Amino acid sequence: MKIHQVKLTLNGVEREGACESRTTLLDFIRHDLGSTGTHAGCEHGVCGACTVELDGQIVRSCLMFACQADGTKVTTVEGIAKSGEMSDLQNAFKKHHALQCGFCTSGFLLSAEDLLKKNPHPSELEVREGLSGNLCRCTGYVGIIEAVLEVAAARARQNGGEHA
């Protein structure tokens, strides 16, 4: 089995490790780099629990090999909060009970941040469509949608947006 050296920037910190060719990015992040906020769900790219941001794009880390991420910038749920404080979106998830068991939460948070970057003023339908690649068995999605819409409105008010 061939061993690859993989260097990447994980949540703003340069990291390095060695792994087999078949090691997924998910397993490399969790087991080799010790960042366990990204979860292994279906391992088929369907549930979204393994969602990470790779060079600005949302990807399913269970569908990528770690060696494919060599030289990239990866953000996991641990990278959302700045200076140890929960982000506005994380706080909104807490407020709206959008994180009951927590298993899917990291993927939802990354997908929601990506959605709000691309569409800072989404409608409820756009939020539902934007998060449709993430599955949750506990919440019924209501709190998740409410949290994302609340953050979109708050960010619009902070930025003097017209959709506040």
d(CA 127, CA 129): 5
3 state DSSP class of 62: helix
In tens, the pLDDT along 25-42 reads 999 999 999 999 999 999
In tens, the pLDDT along 118-164 reads 999 999 999 999 999 999 998 889 999 999 999 999 999 998 865 54
d(CA 56, CA 49): 18
| Domains in the chain: ranges and CATH | 3-79 (3.10.20.30), 88-158 (1.10.150.120)
HSE, side-chain direction, 13 A CA sphere, residue 4:
17
Helix-, strand-, coil-residue percentages of the chain, each rounded to 5: 40, 20, 45
In tens, the pLDDT along 47-105 reads 999 999 999 999 999 999 999 999 999 999 999 988 889 999 999 999 999 988 889 99
